[in-house]
Amino acid sequence: MFVLAALGGCESSQGFDRGRMSEQLSAGAQKATDEEISRIMGLQPQLDFPIRLAIYVKPREYYWHDPVWRIEDIDAEWVETLKRDGLVTAIIPIVESTVTGDNIADIRLAAARHGADAVLVLESVSDVDRYNNPLGITYFTIVGAWLIPGTHSDALVMMSGSLWDVRNGYLYATMQTEGEASDFGPAFLLEDYKVVAEAHRAALTAIEAEIAKRLHNIAPKAVP
């Protein structure tokens, strides 16, 4: 009975629920009034490069297969490239305890307290598709579940980013990337969170490249 409960995965791939994932990424969107829209239309970009860039990772409810990721996951070489290209002078991590609310004004306030010129807000969601291949028939024996590679784990991570002016709330850029990873192995040894972590790294690498491109577009004279 224990074996059947532990191995109760699907016999074929079910795919990813991209609609649900997109809804989760946009769940924090706020309604705006006509007055707010008019105010936003009047905002102007005002960054003077190189800038002090704050990065805030929005917290969310994690599922059991999700690795908890931190600002330290950002590639150090990417940071050095931004500095070398004259785009940033410092990357400033914003920890959750310094943000008093969940809207962009609260995040900008925390970034201002850290002396940042702009703040990059990152958020991600993940989904796992776990299923058995034909070798999964051996799972009716306990030994098979430990030794036979009859299970697949596919992971998808969607990541969004938005770049804001700390002083006036001007939105410079938005972006969304995806990362996928797969692995297979015995059901009792295959760990979904490791596959999700690999997909997360792929999504983060893609968004780092996109951020660098957007910063170059905003400050075309920053690169010699």
Beta carbons within 8 Å of 143's beta carbon, 6+ residues apart: none
Kindly state the tokens that stand for 16: 């990813």
* Domain limits for position 87: 51-131+152-186+194-218
Q: What is the pTM of this model?
A: 0.79
Residue 46 placed within a domain: no
Residue type present at position 185: G
Burial class of residue 2 (count of CB atoms within 10 Å of its CB; 0-12, 13-18, 19+): exposed
What are 122-162's pLDDT values in tens digits?
A: 998 889 999 888 777 777 777 878 888 889 999 999 999 99
**To 5 degrees, how large is the angle CA 27–CA 198–CA 179?**
50
What are 163-194's pLDDT values in tens digits?
A: 999 999 999 999 999 999 999 998 889 899 89
Stretch 89-114: mean pLDDT:
91
Q: How much is the pLDDT for 3? A: 47
Residue 124 placed within a domain: yes
Residue 94 placed within a domain: yes
What are 188-213's pLDDT values in tens digits?
A: 898 998 999 899 999 999 999 999 99
By the 8 A CB rule, do 108 and 43 touch? Answer: no
Residue 92 placed within a domain: yes
Which residue did the predictor score with more confidence, 176 or 21? 176
Domain count, the chain: 1
Percent of the chain surpassing pLDDT 70: 77
For the chain, the average pLDDT equals: 82
81 band by pLDDT with thresholds 50, 70 and 90: very high
44 band by pLDDT with thresholds 50, 70 and 90: confident
pLDDT of 222 higher than 50: no
Residue 176 placed within a domain: yes
Q: How much is the pLDDT for 161? A: 93
Kindly state the tokens that stand for 126: 């993940």
Residue 7 placed within a domain: no
Q: Exposure string (b/e) for 71-104, b if CB count within 10 Å is 16 or more?
A: eeebeeebbeebeebbbbebbbebeeeebeeeeb
Least confident interval from 29-33, 67-71, 180-184, 187-191: 67-71
Residue 123 placed within a domain: yes
Q: How much is the pLDDT for 69? A: 57
- Domain of 92, CATH number, reads 3.40.50
Residue 85 placed within a domain: yes
